[in-house]
Amino acid sequence: MAARTTAAGGGARATPVAPRLQARWTALAVGVLLGAVLLAVSVGAAGLPLRGVVAELLQWLPGVEPSLAERESTILWRIRMPRVALGALVGATLATSGAAYQGVFRNPLADPYLLGVASGAGLGATLTIAAGIRPFGAASLPLFAFVGAVVAVTATWTLGRSTGGRGTAVLILAGVAVSLFLSAIQTFFMQRYAETIREVYGFLLGQLGTAGWSEVRIALPWAGVALVGMLASRRLLDVLAVGDVEATALGLPTNQVRLAVVALATLGTAAVVAVSGLIGFVGIVVPHAVRLVVGTSYRAVLPLSLLLGAAFLVLADVLARTLLSPAELPIGVVTAFVGGPFFLLVLRRSRRTVV
């Protein structure tokens, strides 16, 4: 025992234990995102010169002269940039929300659609398209999808609580029930209005093709609040990792924290799903790939999921619109098709434990 008691006064110096997001990983993730953005705005049916694109983007700096022609500049700012910005926003939100859900539910398979966001948004979109109810013009589809998602998750939460159970398993089961129920209604309407099925599928498989700045403006406030809130909670998710009993003993109001984080993640997810449709896989693959590299602390997992989720979806969108050019693949197909093998590769190369 003596050996253990001398440490304080002995040779071992007090080493500050700084739980930090290592700067090199952050720098790398920022670099990957910037590279993805530059590639995405340059590549397309009309190729833009990289040097010209960089000069155009940095023209606010003194001494940088824009060199793109007017037509090229229009393509960049009106077509490419909103699409890339929306892809980045959607990817960042889905990946961060996925990581947050996994932390809150302590379940590696939790994804942002767990509590019914997908089926709620899907039903909202289907009703809008099938019934042709568009009181707000082009904004109707995202609006109804958003409302559907929020209503679905609220129903899940209410049902989960009404059983008297406080555990997360009850909530997840309620999510399954609500999802199945709403999907059944959605299928019914898709059958009834078969002529609109193609447009409905377009939404269900995810789409950035129609993206303009208006979609970015619709989603950004909600997604922005959600992202800031989730990032601010990253330390608390680490505390939840030790389980409810000990987290409570450590002084964490676990139920309130769980409710707040789920609400934020759901809000962000609903907002981006409303403008991009259901893009699967991002919320699971990106956080897990990040964990395999930097460990499981949410202090690192959340910010890196945000950056790399954005990069992942921007790159997936490049593939979606170039692989079968001039036709476009649904981006949800690309994320699954590319994300699956990529994830297996990362899994094989890593010896770390997943979650």
Partner 1 sequence: MALDARGITVRYGPVTIVDDVDLAVPAGGWLGLLGPNGAGKTTLLRALAGLVERAAGSVDLDGVDPRTLPRREVAHHVAFVDQRPVLPPGMTVGEYVLLGRTAHVPLLAMERPEDLQIVAEAMDRLDVTRFAERDVLTLSGGEAQRVVLARAITQQAPVLLLDEPTSSLDLGHQQQVLELVDELRRERGLTVVTTMHDLTVVGQFAFDLVLLAGGRVVAHGPPATVLDRDVLAEHYGASVQVLDDGCGGRIVVPLRRHANLVRPGQDAAAGDVVADPAAAGDVVAPGAAPVTSHDESAGGQP
Q: Which residues bind partner 1 (CB under 8 A)?
A: 1, 3-5, 7-8, 12-19, 232-233, 235-236, 238-239, 241-243, 245-253, 291, 295-297, 299, 352-353, 355
Q: Output the smallest distance, CB 226 to partner 1, in A.
A: 14
Nearer to partner 1, 79 or 241 (CB): 241
CA torsion through residues 324, 328, 331, 332, sign:
negative
CA contacts within 13 A on the Cβ side of 251: 0
- Relative orientation angle of helices 81-105 and 168-192, to the nearest 10 degrees: 140
Q: What tokens appear for 299 in the block?
A: 């202090």
Nearer to partner 1, 135 or 251 (CB): 251
- C-alpha span between 355 and 110 (Å, rounded): 11
Q: Output the smallest distance, CB 208 to partner 1, in A.
A: 32
DSSP-assigned letter for residue 167: S
Q: What tokens appear for 86 in the block?
A: 């929306």
Q: Output the smallest distance, CB 244 to partner 1, in A.
A: 9
- C-alpha span between 45 and 57 (Å, rounded): 20
Nearer to partner 1, 195 or 353 (CB): 353
Nearer to partner 1, 18 or 61 (CB): 18
Nearer to partner 1, 95 or 240 (CB): 240
Q: Output the smallest distance, CB 32 to partner 1, in A.
A: 22
Q: Output the smallest distance, CB 243 to partner 1, in A.
A: 4
Q: Output the smallest distance, CB 164 to partner 1, in A.
A: 11
Nearer to partner 1, 140 or 248 (CB): 248
Q: What tokens appear for 114 in the block?
A: 């767990």
Nearer to partner 1, 16 or 135 (CB): 16
Q: Output the smallest distance, CB 233 to partner 1, in A.
A: 7
Q: What tokens appear for 237 in the block?
A: 């998710």
- Relative orientation angle of helices 140-162 and 168-192, to the nearest 10 degrees: 140
- 211 contacts: CB under 8 Å, gap ≥ 6: 82, 83, 86, 87, 275, 276
Residue with tokens 């609040």: 225
* DSSP-assigned letters across all residues of 45-73: SS---HHHHHHHHTTTSTTPPP---HHHH
